[in-house]
Amino acid sequence: MIDQTKKPSPESEDQNEMKMKEKVVQSSRKGPLSFLSGALTSFFFAWLSFLLSRKVVIYFVLHSPNYTSQFAQSIASAMKTLAIGMCFLATFTFAFIGLGLSIVFIRSLFPDKVHEDD
């Protein structure tokens, strides 16, 4: 049998590496559809987080902790505050991300204006 394997030259390896880098740069460019789907997903999660936040608030209003110990009452109040705060933090975080992606989506629909120096 004849060995037909060729070792690539260092020059062709460099060219292949440059082509791969160009493909990565081209494929990492996001389009308007990507921004739109991200915005819709983020708004959906914000809505779900808001529903969860409402249910958590209603639960803690209906089931208020009553402890005889001041220390236990303080810890229960802190945990309640943390739970409600984290739910609303998730709500507003997802909402602001969705708002930002919506703005980027609208900006991506219009072509960039190139300023020419005279």
Give the predicted TM-score (pTM) of the model: 0.68
Confidence of residue 111 (pLDDT cuts 50, 70, 90): confident
DSSP state of 28: T
Minimum mean pLDDT range among 51-55, 66-70, 86-90? 66-70
Residue 108 makes CB contacts below 8 A (sequence gap 6+) with 30, 31, 32, 35
* C-alpha closest to that of 89 among 59, 58, 51, 49: 49
**Domain limits, the chain:** 31-109
Residue 42 makes CB contacts below 8 A (sequence gap 6+) with 94, 95, 97, 98, 101
